[in-house]
Each structure stands twice: as C-alpha cells, then as structure tokens.
C-alpha cells in the first residue's frame, strides 16, 4: 500500500508565509532601468477612415499658374531661350521640368526658381536649343 507522499514541511511553511504564487525577483545587473519590450499589436481597424484615395494636389495643370509676359520676361525669352512662369510654391524644380516637358512638348535643360516677395514662385525654364523660345511662347499664347 503506497501512502500519500508527506508534504514537505519546509515548503508548506514557505507557502503559508509568502502565498501560493511566488514571483521570483529578477536580478538587475545594470544601474539603469530600461522599459521591457512588450507585445505590440498591429492595427486591425473595424472601418476605414478614408475609403477612397484623394486626388493628388499638385498635378501637371496645377503646377503652372500663369506665364509671365512682362517686358523683362519677354526679353529673357528672346535672349536666353527661357520661359518664365509663375508656379505653385510647393512645386520643385524636378516637377516643373517634368510637367513643362509634358505640357508644352519641349525639352528642358534646366529650371531656376525664386520666391517673389509676394509669396509666389517664379520659374525660369530654360529650353534646349533645338526649340525656339519665341516659337514656343507664340504657341502657348504668351506673346
């Protein structure tokens, strides 16, 4: 007849004193305490915040606000083969180059920009020598 094993007296007394579930104290080996990594759940939204993608704000039409046809601008067209445009202030030179080539069927060598004192952006779009600046300006309707 195998008897029930006698409960360890020492263990029982410990449980009675400290409780059944005893957490082992972790030893800190560093001086600094760093937040322990916890589980990070990925998002599982119950509904979409925006279900339809909005339209891009700066497309090829909205970058160019208007061409400049001032005396200075006209002179620049003739002498430097460069068109002068007022451009959206958020547009960058790369965009301006790309969209100018698309819209006006030209080849752009470089773009210089400045921001006017009234907050508008002026772009000097230099056209490659195959194209005549004056012809392009005529086609667009500036002159």
Partner 1 sequence: MVKVKASELRKKDQDQLKKQVEDLKNELSTLKVAKVAGGAPAKLAKIKVVRKSIATALTVIHEKKLEKVRLDSKGKKYQPLDVRGKRTRAIRRRLTKKQENKLVLRVLKRKQNFPQRRFAVAK
Strand order in the sheet with 108-115: 64-67, 82-87, 121-127, 108-115
Residue 119 Ramachandran class (φ > 0 left, ψ -120 to 50 alpha, else beta): left
The answer to whether residues 65 and 88 touch, using CB atoms and an 8 Å cutoff, is yes
> In angstroms, rounded to a whole number, what is the distance separating the alpha carbons of residues 16 and 72?
96
Q: Which is nearer to partner 1, 126 or 139 (CB)?
A: 139
In angstroms, what is the minimal distance from the CB of 56 to partner 1? 12
Q: Which is nearer to partner 1, 30 or 51 (CB)?
A: 51
In angstroms, what is the minimal distance from the CB of 72 to partner 1? 14
Binding site for partner 1 (CB under 8 A): 46-52, 55, 61, 64-69, 103, 140-143
Q: Which is nearer to partner 1, 32 or 46 (CB)?
A: 46
In angstroms, what is the minimal distance from the CB of 114 to partner 1? 19
Quote the strand ranges of the chain, DSSP E: 64-67, 82-87, 108-115, 121-127
Q: Which is nearer to partner 1, 4 or 55 (CB)?
A: 55
In angstroms, what is the minimal distance from the CB of 97 to partner 1? 17
The answer to whether residues 81 and 132 touch, using CB atoms and an 8 Å cutoff, is yes
């Amino acid at each position: 007849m195998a008897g029930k094993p006698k409960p360890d007296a020492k263990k029982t007394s410990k449980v009675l004193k400290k409780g059944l579930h005893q957490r082992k104290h972790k030893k800190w080996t560093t001086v600094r305490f760093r937040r322990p990594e916890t589980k990070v759940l990925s998002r599982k939204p119950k509904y979409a915040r925006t279900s339809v993608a909005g339209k891009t704000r700066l497309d090829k039409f909205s970058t160019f606000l208007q061409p400049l046809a001032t005396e200075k601008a006209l002179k620049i067209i003739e002498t430097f083969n460069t068109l002068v445009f007022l451009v959206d202030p958020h547009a960058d030179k790369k965009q301006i180059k790309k969209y100018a080539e698309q819209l006006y069927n030209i080849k752009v060598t470089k773009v210089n920009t400045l921001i006017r004192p009234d907050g508008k952006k002026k772009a000097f779009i230099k056209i490659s020598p195959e194209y005549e600046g004056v012809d392009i300006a005529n086609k667009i309707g500036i002159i």
